[in-house]
Structure 1
Amino acid sequence: MRVKRIALPVLSVLFLAGCATTVPDLDRERLEGDLMAYGVTLSEEELPKPRGELELESAIHQALLRNPRMQAAYARLDLEAADVIEASQFANPSLSLSVLRPEGGGGNEYGIGLAWGISGWLLRSARIDIAESHWESTRLQLTEGMVALASDTERAWYEAVAARQQAQVQALETRAADLGLRLGQRFHEAGNITDLDKAHLRIRATESRLQLEEARRQERATRLYLAHLMGIPGEIEDWSVPATLPLPLADPDAPGALVDQALDGRLDLAALDKALDGMTEGVALVRRYRWLGDIEPGIEFERETDGTRLWGGGITFTLPLFNRNQSGVHRAEARLREGEARRDRLTDAIIADVHEQHYRLLHHRERFRMMREELLPAREIAMAGIQERVNYMFDDVFDLLEHKQEELRDWRRTVAELGDYWRARADLAYAVAGPLPGGPVGREGYFDIGQLEREPGQMHHHHDHGHDHEDHGEPHDHEHGDHTEHSGHGGHH
Structure 2
Amino acid sequence: MTVSLARASLALAMAAALGACTTLSPQPRADELTSALEARGGPAVDWAAVGAPREERAAIGRWLDQPMTLDAALRVAMLRSPRLQEEYAHQGLARAEVLEAVEISNPTLSLSRMSLDGGGSNRTVGLSLPLVDLLMLPVRTRLARLEYERATYEITGAVLGVVAEVESGWYEYVAARQVAAMREAVAEGAAASAELAQRFHDAGNISDLQLAQEQAVASEARIEALRARAEAGRQRLALNQVLGLHGDEADWEASDNLPLPVPQEDDPALLARLAGEGNTELLAARKEAEVLADALGLTRSLRWLGGSEIGYEREKEADGARLRGPELALELPIFNQGQARVARAEAQLAAALARVDQAELSATQGVRLGSEQVSALREVVRLHREALVPQRETIVARQQERQNFMLIGVFELVQAKLAEYDAYQAYLEAVRDYWLARVVGQRLPSDASIGERTPAVQDILAPKGGMDHSMHEGMDHANPEEMDHSKHEGMNHAKPEEMDHSRHEGMDHSQHEADDAKPEDDAPRHDEHDHGDTP
The question of a shared fold, defined as TM-score above 0.5 by the shorter chain, is answered with yes
Residues 107 and 135 (structure 1 numbering): CA distance in 2 closer, same or farther, change over 3 Å?
same
What is the CA–CA distance in structure 2 between the aligned matches of 1:83 and 1:418, rounded to whole Å? 45
Is residue 364 from structure 1 mapped to residue 377 from structure 2 by the alignment?
A: yes
Cα distance 1:241–1:313, how it changes in 2: closer, same or farther (>3 A)? closer
1:453 pairs with one of 462, 465, 477:
462
Q: Does 1:48 align with 2:60?
A: yes
Indicate how the Cα distance of structure 1 residues 395 and 269 shifts in structure 2: closer, same or farther if over 3 A, else same.
Answer: same
Kindly tell me the number of residue pairs found equivalent between the two proteins: 461
Other-structure match for 2:23: 22
Structure 1: runs of 5 or more not aligned: 1-6, 473-491
Q: For 2:462, give the aligned amino acid.
A: E
TM-superposed CA distance for 1:108, in Å, is: 3.2
After superposition, what is the alpha-carbon deviation per residue over 1:104-132, rounded to whole angstroms, capped at 9, x for unaligned?
A: x6223322222223221100011111111
Matches within 5 A, 1:203-218: 203-218=216-231
2:97 to 83, 102, 111: 83
Letter in 2 for 1:63: A
Deviations 1:356-381, CA, capped at 9 Å, x for gaps: 22222122211111111112222223
Shift in Å, 1:188: 3.8
How far has the Cα of 1:14 moved from its partner?
4.8
Q: Which moved more, 1:145-154 or 1:392-401?
A: 392-401
Kindly provide the amino acid, as one letter, of the partner of residue 440 in structure 1.
Answer: S
Change (3 A) 1:434 1:329: farther
How far off its partner does 1:26 sit?
Answer: 5.0
CA pair 240-99 structure 1, distance change in 2 beyond 3 A: same
Preserved CA contact (<8 Å) 2:213 2:411: no
Deviation at 1:82, TM superposition (A): 1.9
Counterpart contact for 1:173–1:409, Cα < 8 Å: no
CA distance in structure 1 between the partners assigned to 2:387 and 2:78 by the alignment? 41
Counterpart position of 1:437? 446
Aligned equivalent of 2:317: 304
- Percent identity for Structure 1 against Structure 2: 33
Find the residue that maps to 1:355 and give its secondary structure: helix
Q: Deviations over 1:468-490 (max 9, x none)?
A: 989x9xxxxxxxxxxxxxxxxxx
Paired with 2:396 and 2:217, the residues of 1 have a C-alpha distance of 19
- Residues 265-274 or 182-191, more deviating: 182-191
CA deviation string 1:66-104 (max 9, x = no partner): 11222222222222222222233333222222223345x
Separation in structure 1 between the aligned mates of residue 211 and residue 314 of structure 2, nearest angstrom: 111
1:421-471 residue CA offsets vs partner (Å, 9 max, x unmatched): 1111224xx4xx6514263322x443334141257442459972379989x
Change (3 A) 1:314 1:358: closer
Q: Report SS of the residue matched to 1:437.
A: helix
Q: SS state of the match for residue 359, structure 1?
A: helix
Contact 2:201 2:207 in 1 (8 A): yes
Higher relative contact order (CA 8 A, sep 6+): 1
Q: Deviation of residue 190 (structure 1)? A: 4.2
Match of 1:186 in 2: 199
- Larger mean CA deviation between 321-330 and 294-303 belongs to 294-303
SS in 1 for 2:130: coil
For 1:77 and 1:186, locate their aligned partners in 2 and report how far apart those are by CA, in whole Å. 69
SS of equivalent to 1:323: coil
Q: 1:264 to 1:174 in 2, by over 3 A?
A: same
Matches within 5 A, 1:478-493: none
Kindly report the root-mean-square deviation, in angstroms, between the aligned alpha carbons of the 2 structures: 3.1
In 2 relative to 1, CA 197–17 (structure 1 residues): closer, same or farther, beyond 3 Å? same
Taking the aligned partners of 2:389 and 2:240, their CA distance within structure 1 comes to 34
Instruction: Map 1:70-469 to 2 at 5 A.
Output: 70-103=84-117, 106-233=119-246, 238-395=251-408, 399-427=412-440, 430=441, 434-437=443-446, 439-442=448-451, 444-449=452-457, 450-454=459-463, 456-459=468-471, 464-465=484-485
Q: Is the 8 A contact 2:187 2:221 kept in 1?
A: yes
Residues 1:467 and 1:382: Cα distance change in structure 2 (over 3 Å): closer
Could you tell me how far 1:311 is from its partner in structure 2?
Answer: 3.6
SS in 1 for 2:112: strand
User: How has the CA–CA distance of structure 1 residues 171 and 299 changed in structure 2, closer, same or farther, with 3 Å as cutoff?
Assistant: closer
**Hey, what's the Cα distance between the residues in 1 that align with 2:427 and 2:370?**
20
Distance 2:128 2:489 in 1: 104
Q: Which residue is equivalent to 2:502?
A: none
Instruction: Supply the distance in 2 between the matched residues of 1:320 and 1:237 (Cα, whole angstroms).
Output: 65
Report the Cα offset of residue 235 of structure 1: 5.3
The structural deviation recorded for 1:309 is 3.3
- How far apart, in 1, do the equivalents of 2:121 and 2:30 lie? 64
User: How far is 1:274 from its partner?
Assistant: 1.3
Q: SS of the counterpart of 2:328?
A: strand
Query: Is 1:39 the counterpart of 2:41 in the alignment?
Result: yes
TM-score (norm 2): 0.77
Partner deviation per Cα, 1:276-315 (whole Å, 9 max, x = no partner): 1111110110011111223333444333334343345442
Distance verdict in 2 for CA 1:365–1:298, change over 3 Å: closer
* CA separation of 1:29 and 1:236: change in aligned 2, threshold 3 A: closer
The Cα offsets for residues 328-357 of structure 1, whole Å up to 9 and x where unpaired, read as: 010001001001111212222223322222
Change (3 A) 1:298 1:377: closer
- Contact 1:165/1:243, CA 8 A, preserved across alignment: no
Shift of the 345–15 alpha-carbon distance from structure 1 to 2, 3 Å rule, reads closer
Code of the residue aligned with 2:260 in structure 1: it is L
1:242-300 CA-partner distances (Å, limit 9, x unpaired): 25222111342454443333122212211121111111110110011111223333444
Q: Secondary structure at the match of 1:121?
A: helix
- For the structure 1 residues 405 and 71, does the alpha-carbon distance in structure 2 shift closer, same or farther, using more than 3 Å as the test? same
C-alpha distance in 2 between matches for 1:457 and 1:426: 43
Shift in CA distance, 314/378, structure 1 to aligned 2, threshold 3 Å: closer
- Supply the distance in 1 between the matched residues of 2:14 and 2:293 (Cα, whole angstroms): 32
